[in-house]
Each structure stands twice: as C-alpha cells, then as structure tokens.
Amino acid sequence: MLLQEHSGLVYRVALRILGAEDAQDASQEVWIRVWRNIKNFRGDSAFSTWLYRITVNTCLSVHRKESRRGEREYSGEEMPFLPEPPGGDADPEAAALGAEQREEIQAALGHVRAEHRAALVLRHMEGLSYAQIAQVLEVPDGTAKGWVSRGRAAMLVALAEENHGAGGTAG
Amino acid sequence: MMPVGEQRWEMLERIGAYAAGELEGEEAREVERLLFERPEYRRLAESYARMLVMLTTLGNEPVEAPEAVVGYAVRRAHVLAFMRSAEVFVGALGRSYIDAFVYYLGLRRESYGGGT
C-alpha cells in the first residue's frame, strides 16, 4: 500500500528537518496535502520526488510559523573542529552513534538555516543527487548545490559548538 | 578584497566539498595542496569527514512513522475516498433531478423511452 511504503520517508524527513517535537504534526499535515493533491500528480517526476517535495515544503512552512531558532553565526576567527573519537576514526565502535551524538546532530541541524538544512538532509542523509534535490526544492541545480555546501559548513560550525565543552573549536 | 570572515567561510565550504568527494581536477588538487601545507585545514577536512559519516550513519538508520501518524493518514484517505464517492453520487443524483425537471416542464423536445 502506498501509505505503508512511504510513511517512513515522510516521518524520517520531517524528523531530520524539524526534530521530534514537530515531526508528527508535520507528517500528518503532509498526508492531508498528499490526499488533497494526489489527483494533480501527473507522473512528470517519480512519486518519491513528489512526496519529498510536499514533505519538505510542509516542513519549511511549519518552520516559518514557529519562532526562528538561532542560526549560528560563523565569526571566521575559529576553525570548527570535531573531537577525534576515543578509538580513532578507524574504530568501528566509533561509527555507531550514541544517544548523545544523535542529540548533538539534531541540535546542530536546528541551528542551520531551514532551506540549507533541508538540502543537507536530502543530500547527506537521504542520499539524493543534486538534480533530485533541485527538483524537490524547485530551484536550479546550482542553487541546490550552494545550499548543500552552506548547510554542510553551517552544520560543522554548529556541531563544533555543540562539542565545544569537549574542545570542539580551535583558534 | 574579500573580508577575512568571508574568505574563511569560502575555504570552509571548499574543504567541505572536497571532504564530500565533490571536487574534481584542478579544484581538488588545489585543496589537496592546501591540506598538505596547512595542518589546520587537514584537521578541518577530518572533522568534515567525521561529520559526514555521522550524518550518513544516522540517515541509514531505519525510522518508522509512529502508529498515530499512519493511523491518521489512513483515516484521512478513507474520508477522502468517501467524500469523492459522495461527490460523484450527489452530482449524478442532481443531474438526474435536473433532467427529470426539464422533462417535466417540457423544455426538452425528445422524450424518455423513445415516445412520440
């Protein structure tokens, strides 16, 4: 069934873009929009692209309604470094994410500008190509690439700030 | 001349693109030269790589929508299907009534049932 197959995608993307608090309401709003507009789906793009588009647009409109979370400014004075995992990068244990790291990633994502965050999530968490991201966000390919690039840099700055207590940034 | 903050930001984005494997040819070689010469850039590239692994790992973890979301979506689908059927039914009923009324008033020449 269409819904069972895609409900995970909708909730997952909403969770990454908005966080756990708003993901459920946003997902429900997505399905309202899907049922309302499904007769307009002409198959010009893949169904998943269309669904991504509705999900991202819904998440961005939810984000616009809520008060803007503080986007981290990069002063340029410090390099945003992440601490090396205790066992080194090659340690397979280090690849598994702990609850604390998950929280840090989600918190850091919250400090990236919404459009850039959406582009970053689609690229590095959903694994979409730039052409697909451009279709989902309805922007030119170059803009999609720029948003991912800015989102990636802003995410590193925010993540280094989250890790600051553990020596995240350095001069 | 670009302000220092902007220059640093541009470098931040370039190294990010390199760490993500998105630079090719001369652009990639230029960043590699910088990484070789500047240990802080090397550390930055490592930080990016670490962050990208974390994002990919988190992105690959299966996420299931809560039952409430799926249940709500199913209910909405049923309501929509019912409304669509009701719309078709009421529309057809309305058209039949109008046809009958038009026939009753004698506004249409041909009669039902192939009469006179």
Average pLDDT per block of 10 residues along chain A, 171 residues long: 82 92 91 87 86 95 66 69 70 68 90 94 96 96 96 94 62 45
Cβ atoms of A155 and A120 within 8 Å: the answer is yes
- Please give the share of chain A, as a percent, with pLDDT higher than 90: 49
Q: Domain locations in chain A?
A: 2-65, 79-170
Structural domain boundaries in chain B: 4-60, 64-116
ipTM: 0.84
Mean pLDDT taken over chain A:
84
List, for chain B, all residue ranges whose pLDDT scores fall below the cut of 70: 1-4, 109-116
pLDDT confidence of residue A68: 55
What's the CA gap between B86 and B91, in Å, rounded?
A: 8
The DSSP-derived string for B50-88 is HHHHHHHHHHHS-----HHHHHHHHHHHHHHHHHHHHHH
pLDDT digits (tens, 9 = 90+) for A78-128: 778 787 776 666 565 555 778 888 888 999 999 999 999 999 999 999 999
CATH number, span A79-170: 1.10.10.10
Report pLDDT for A166. 47
Position B115 scores a pLDDT of: 47
Ordered DSSP codes for A50-72: HHHHHHHHHHHHHHHHSPPPPPP
- Nearest by CB to A76, from B5, B69, B76: name it: B5
Q: Are A125 and A166 in contact (CB under 8 A)?
A: no
CB contact (8 A) between residue B69 and residue A28? yes
pLDDT of residue A65: 64
What is the rounded distance in angstroms from the CA atom of residue A147 to the CA atom of residue A156?
A: 14
Mutate to test the interface with B, among A17, A82, A113, A126 (most CBs of B within 10 A): A82
Domain with residues A2-65, CATH architecture: Orthogonal Bundle (1.10)
